[in-house]
């Protein structure tokens, strides 16, 4: 099963593709979609959409997952993040790919065992779970963590999370 994880952001949207096969996690690809800061909001949203569509076309995931929007102190920032998240979700959905949603704390708890890990800890654990991975950015590390979380929470045939983690080591 090929899984796409997305970590949406208006400036940078991380993506990560993994396979979950016979109890093993395997890294396929990861990267970051960076938008041009001096363009309009609509143009940046189009860049995100086109970037995610490109990833889906190249890697043909069976399922996708994205982090839920967290509410921060600046409502304008939260709104813009929600818009970036919306177009990132829309890209695989329009191609018939189901999209799961996970709270950031659940992603961290699934990958790290605790819900309040920092970006460096997430990147370290993703590197451990996906040996040999070359991580493009902290955004793509977060996206790989989302994909790993999704793999854990998907009902897989004859596969437990413990088997998947054991296979990655």
**Domain boundaries of the chain, sorted by first residue:** 2-168
The reply to whether 7 belongs to the active site is yes
b/e map 24-36, b = 16+ CB within 10 Å = bbbbbbbbbbbbe
Active-site hit among 7, 21, 68, 142: 7
Provide the token pair at 67. Answer: 């982090």
CATH topology of domain 2-168: Nucleotidyltransferase; domain 5 (3.30.420)
* 136 labelled catalytic: no
pLDDT band for 76, please (50, 70, 90 cuts).
confident
Query: Per the residue annotation, which of 57, 67, 101, 118 is the catalytic one?
Result: 67
CB half-sphere exposure, 82, CA atoms < 13 A: 9
The pLDDT tens digits for 139-164 are 999 999 999 999 988 754 334 444 44
- State the Rg of the chain over Cα: 15
User: How far is it, in rounded angstroms, from Cα 98 to Cα 52?
Assistant: 14
* CA 105 to the chain's CA centroid: 14
Q: How many alpha carbons fall within 13 Å on the CB side of residue 27?
A: 22
Report CA 68 to chain centroid distance, whole Å: 11
Most confident option among 56-65, 95-104, 122-131, 151-160: 56-65
The predicted pLDDT at position 165 comes to: 43
Active site residue 142: no
Selection from 11-25, 47-61, 140-154 with the highest mean pLDDT? 47-61
Q: Check residue 75 and give its pLDDT.
A: 80
Q: Which residue of the set 22, 68, 139, 142 is catalytic?
A: 139
What average pLDDT does range 49-57 have in this prediction? 98
How far, in Å, CA of 53 to CA of 14, rounded? 13
Compute the average pLDDT of residues 8-26.
91
Strands, sheet with 63-67, edge to edge from the N-terminal-most edge strand: 24-34, 12-21, 2-7, 63-67, 99-102
């Amino acid at each position: 099963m090929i899984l796409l994880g997305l970590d949406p952001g208006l400036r940078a949207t991380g993506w990560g593709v993994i396979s979950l096969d016979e109890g093993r996690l395997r890294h396929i690809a990861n990267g970051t979609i960076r938008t041009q800061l001096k363009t309009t909001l609509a143009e940046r949203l189009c860049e995100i959409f086109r970037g995610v569509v490109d990833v889906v076309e190249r890697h043909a995931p069976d399922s996708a997952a994205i982090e839920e929007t967290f509410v921060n102190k600046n409502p304008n920032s939260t709104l813009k993040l929600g818009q970036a998240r919306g177009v990132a979700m829309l890209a695989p959905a329009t191609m018939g790919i189901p999209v799961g949603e996970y709270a950031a704390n659940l992603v961290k708890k699934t990958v790290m065992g605790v819900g309040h890990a920092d970006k460096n800890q997430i990147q370290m654990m993703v590197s451990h779970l996906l040996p040999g991975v070359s991580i493009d950015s902290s955004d793509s590390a977060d996206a790989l963590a989302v994909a790993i979380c999704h793999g854990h929470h998907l009902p897989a045939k004859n596969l437990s999370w413990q088997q998947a983690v054991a296979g990655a080591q």
